[in-house]
Amino acid sequence: MIADRITNEEGSPLEDFNKFFKRHLFRQMCNLIKECPNKRQQICELIFAHCAHDLQLRIKVVQQLKKYLHSDEMVYACQAHLLQQEEEFNEQWFDVFLYYALIGLSSQCTNIRVYSLNMLTTIVSCNADSMLEIIERVNLLAEENFWEVKAQCLEFATAMLSQYRALSHLMAHKDELKAKGSS
């Protein structure tokens, strides 16, 4: 509520609060994430609330998670939570997560692959056509032995299938291109 009032009320000290957030509060929230993993999602929701008004600040927060968390697994978990807070599609915001998710798919750590697939599933629900080229990579991951990865692949597939009706024109176009290429 405080973040909402600071960002929306006229005459509020928004610039001062943003400086305080960037220099002190964000670091302290990251410390809480490290110390209290069971509160990670709530703290990520709070971080998002404090920077929701400014896309560049949100992107900077995502990029600086590694600086304060020092654990790739924790960074990916927080990124997945932050992405889930977005209510409407914003290509620039989603591209940041797409970048990290694609890198995370190749990680040796199972949980990072799981969080990366989770981010891709969230993106699919808002912009499925951007994920058509990634389907093959997810399909390869579905063959892994880790049930957590298989479950996220299933969620990704379910999200893609739920968007299939909206994508049917793209699939038809892809089939036409294949037919022309083989003739």
Phi and psi at 88, nearest 5°, equal -135, 155
Q: What is the pLDDT of residue 74?
A: 95
Residues 104 and 143 placed together within one structural domain of the fold: yes
Are residues 66 and 7 part of one domain?
A: yes
Place of tokens 């969620």: 155
Quick one: pLDDT at residue 172? Answer: 63
Model pLDDT, residue 149: 92
Task: Say if residue 49 is in the same domain as residue 94.
Answer: no
8 Å CB contact between 56 and 96: no
* 19, 93: one domain: no
Q: What is the spatial distance between Cα 152 and Cα 172, in angstroms, rounded to a whole number?
A: 27
What per-residue confidence (pLDDT) applies to 110?
94
Q: Which H, E and C letters describe 36-91, residue by residue?
A: CHHHHHHHHHHHHHHHCCCHHHHHHHHHHHHHHHCCHHHHHHHHHHHHHCCCCCCH
Residue 50: exposure state from Cβ atoms within 10 A (0-12, 13-18, ≥19)? buried
Q: What is the pLDDT of residue 153?
A: 92
Q: Cα torsion for 50, 113, 120, 152, to the nearest 10°? A: -110
Domain termination site, one of 39, 70, 85: 85
Task: Give the global pTM.
Answer: 0.79
Return per-residue pLDDT of the chain as tens, 183 residues. 666 666 666 766 767 877 888 888 999 999 999 999 899 999 999 999 888 878 888 899 999 999 999 999 999 999 999 999 888 777 888 888 999 999 999 999 999 999 999 999 999 888 877 788 888 899 889 998 999 999 999 999 998 888 876 666 665 666 666 677 665
What integer pLDDT is reported at residue 183 of this predicted model? 57
DSSP 87: -
Are 121 and 177 contained in the same domain? Answer: yes
Domain of residue 169, residue span = 89-183
CB-facing half-sphere around the CA of 44: CA atoms within 13 A? 22
pLDDT at 43: 94
Burial label, 178 (beta-carbon count in 10 A; 0-12, 13-18, 19+): exposed
Residues 110 and 174 in one domain: yes
Burial class (CB in 10 A: 0-12, 13-18, 19+), 140: exposed
- Considering the domain architecture, whether residues 65 and 109 belong to the same structural domain is answered as no
- Choose one of 65, 85, 105: the last residue of a domain: 85
Count of the separate structural domains present in the chain: 2
Amino acid at 124: V
